[in-house]
Amino acid sequence: MATKKKAAKKPAAKKPAKKAAAKKPAKKKSARKPNAAFMKALTPSAALAAVVGAKALPRTEAVKKIWAYIKANKLQDSKNKRNVNTDAKLKVVFGNKAQVSMFEIAKFLGKHLS
């Protein structure tokens, strides 16, 4: 039986070296400026003032205070955390609904801030 000679492998062709990408100058990050519309102090209605206080405050702070009230009084639904069970104070704010979605809070809040 004749044995076959193994063909010698050719060395892999070298790929041309990639050119280094030109570095772009880094952009300076400026501090974000808050939107003035969000920071505008608004006066809450009498119904909302019972929950967040009578002092004028921005819409963002009003939402934070409502959530603080909800959590302090354990009004978040235990099965579906997206829903809030209303008590006597919140029922007036949320249009006499027994339960509201967390997405509806901002909708009802807009009617009570001016």
Whether the predicted model's global pTM rises above the 0.85 cut: no
Instruction: Report the 10 Å Cβ neighbour count for 40.
Output: 12
End-to-end Cα spacing for the chain: 101
**How far is residue 59's CA from residue 41's CA, in Å, rounded to a whole number?**
7
Q: What percent of the chain lies above the pLDDT cut of 70?
A: 78
Q: What is the mean pLDDT of the chain?
A: 86
**Number of H-type helices and E-type strands within the chain:** 5, 2
Helix, strand, coil in percent for the chain, rounding step 5: 35, 10, 55
* Length reported for the chain: 114
| Pairwise pLDDT comparison (95 vs 38), residue with the higher score | 95
Spell out the domains of the chain, with CATH numbers in brackets. Answer: 37-112 (1.10.245.10)
Residue 54 pLDDT > 70: yes
| Pairwise pLDDT comparison (74 vs 12), residue with the higher score | 74
pLDDT digits (tens, 9 = 90+) for 6-52: 666 777 777 766 666 666 666 666 688 877 877 899 999 999 999 99
